[in-house]
Amino acid sequence: MPKTLYVRVSSGPNPADDTLDRFEAAWHLASGRRPPAPLAILSFAGLPLLAKSLTPARWELLKRLKAIGPASVFALAKHLKRDYKNVHTDVSRLVDLKLVEKARDGRVGVSWQAVRAELRL
């Protein structure tokens, strides 16, 4: 799994601007060359959607979760000194976005070493 998540924001009609990256990987495979490392990309249709999805509280949650390692939502809420329900809501959204992974035992964690953002005009 890639260690870096690329977050892209595009105001164009197609927010999935990773199409060129996917084409490059397919080209390398077809030509017999080794493909580049796979990219993990999260695309947003615009900056307002990114800001709504990745609020300051959720960013802090990601940083803390990365620092403490996999934890239950209850333990994370306690560590953050936040209401369990709000942390649960934030974790659920971050799991949907694939910024947080949920294990079978219910613990959640962050596997990314870095999150890089690209804002396209």
Residue 49 belongs to a domain with what CATH number? Answer: 1.10.10.10
Q: In the structure, what pLDDT confidence band is assigned to residue 7 with cuts at 50, 70 and 90?
A: confident
What digits encode the pLDDT tens for the residues 37-58? 667 788 888 889 999 999 999 9
Task: Say yes or no to pLDDT of 119 above 90.
Answer: no
d(CA 47, CA 21): 22
pLDDT for the residue numbered 8: 83
Boundaries of domain holding 47: 4-120
Number of domains within the chain = 1
The b-or-e profile of 33-57 (16+ CB within 10 A means b, else e) is eeeeeeebbbbbeeeeebeebbeee
Task: Say yes or no to pLDDT of 12 above 70.
Answer: no
What digits encode the pLDDT tens for the residues 59-111? 999 999 999 999 999 999 999 999 999 999 999 999 999 999 999 999 999 98
